[in-house]
Amino acid sequence: MTTFLIGLALLVAGGAVYGRVCERVMKPTDDPTPATVQSDGVDFVPMKKWRNSLIELLNIAGTGPILGPIQGALFGPVAFITIPVGCVIAGAFHDYMVGMISIRNRGGQVPELVRLFLGRGVYYVYAVFVCLLLLLIGVVFVYTPGDIFVNQVLHQESTLANPVLWGVYAAIFGYYVVAALFPIDKIIGRVYPVFGAILLVSAVGVFAGLFLNGYPLPELWDADPGNTLAGDFVPIFFVTVTCGILSGFHSTQATIVSRTVVDEREGRTTFYDMMVAEGFIAMTWAAAYAVAGLLAAAYVALVTSAVRKAGGRGTD
């Protein structure tokens, strides 16, 4: 548990200190934002800071900081240190920087910003890359919640032969289409904050459960910390846990929210702090998986020992 608490302290303290440093670099001003200057009732709509923050959290989080850290936990307790450090100095500033640059460039989306600052050649390469990236992300954001809903709620098998699964997929995809077509404050602005809050509250619940139940967590200095993939730490760790540390996908979401921010000074909370919150979610789920692994190993050892004893008595 000590390693986890050290990582948590790095996340909270580092986020507070380095967040201020990043804010000084970006130097928020009183200039009007695209949400007010270009307000069109569709994409450019002024919204409250708490609403923007929860939308940003859900946009960049989703299932990424849950499934990724679960894989990352296979590297052992080093994940409890790598996640917060990477989140604070890389991921959070990345999201904040992109969001602020978009605000200062008429709410431009990433392809527009790439063409503006890096030139037309890089823009064409990026356009192909981002299309593939968003296609893969779209697939993940459909089948992951769909499989969970069919398995955990409907108690059915999530196989392609099950027509219910296809119906759920279609419903989720349909929702995404509708959310994209309607004004941002009509569906996204009302639904996303609710699910963003649920995501955060669920992580807090898991976090509290770890302490209230006194579950053990592996330590860096343990003789066998359970780092089954330690030899492949670089680069595999940074591929599996990207959403908890740094993700290029986040930039496509920060520029969407940049069109609803009414004050540049809200940028730190909306972009930087929400990435720190995602780091907390990532650490929590990595810890939960580590606990599950330790309990499973202890159970197997207990059963094995009982079987051996029973076998020994049977031969007497």
CA distance 85 to 65: 15
Residue 150 contacts by C-beta under 8 Å, 6 or more apart in sequence? 156, 157, 158, 162, 164, 165, 168
pLDDT per residue as tens digits for the range 268-283: 999 999 999 998 988 8
CA distance 314 to 56: 62
Give the confidence band of 315 by pLDDT, cuts at 50, 70, 90.
Answer: very low
CA distance 80 to 282: 9
pLDDT per residue as tens digits for the range 103-162: 999 999 989 999 999 999 999 998 888 888 778 777 777 887 888 888 888 888 888 888
What was the pLDDT predicted at 301?
59
Within 10 A of 62 (CB to CB), how many other CB atoms are there? 21
Kindly state the average pLDDT of the residues 285-301: 67
Asked whether residue 303 carries a pLDDT value surpassing 80, the answer given is no
Give the confidence band of 263 by pLDDT, cuts at 50, 70, 90.
Answer: very high
Most confident among 92-106, 164-178, 274-288 (mean pLDDT): 92-106
Asked whether residue 65 carries a pLDDT value surpassing 60, the answer given is no
Asked whether residue 298 carries a pLDDT value surpassing 80, the answer given is no
Kindly state the average pLDDT of the residues 6-31: 94
Kindly state the average pLDDT of the residues 197-210: 88
Residue whose entry in the numeric block shows the structure tokens 């990026």: 126
Structure tokens that stand for 291 in this block: 């606990």
CA distance 94 to 136: 21
Which of the pair, 215 or 39, is modelled with greater confidence? 39
What was the pLDDT predicted at 250?
84
Kindly state the average pLDDT of the residues 291-295: 64
Give exposure, 126-139, as e/b (b: 16+ Cβ within 10 Å). beeebeeeeeebee
What was the pLDDT predicted at 52?
95
pLDDT per residue as tens digits for the range 206-258: 889 888 887 777 777 776 655 556 566 677 666 667 676 777 778 888 999 99
**% of the chain surpassing 70 pLDDT:** 82
Asked whether residue 185 carries a pLDDT value surpassing 60, the answer given is yes
CA distance 288 to 103: 37
Q: What is the pTM of this model?
A: 0.83
pLDDT per residue as tens digits for the range 117-134: 999 999 999 888 888 877
What was the pLDDT predicted at 240?
66
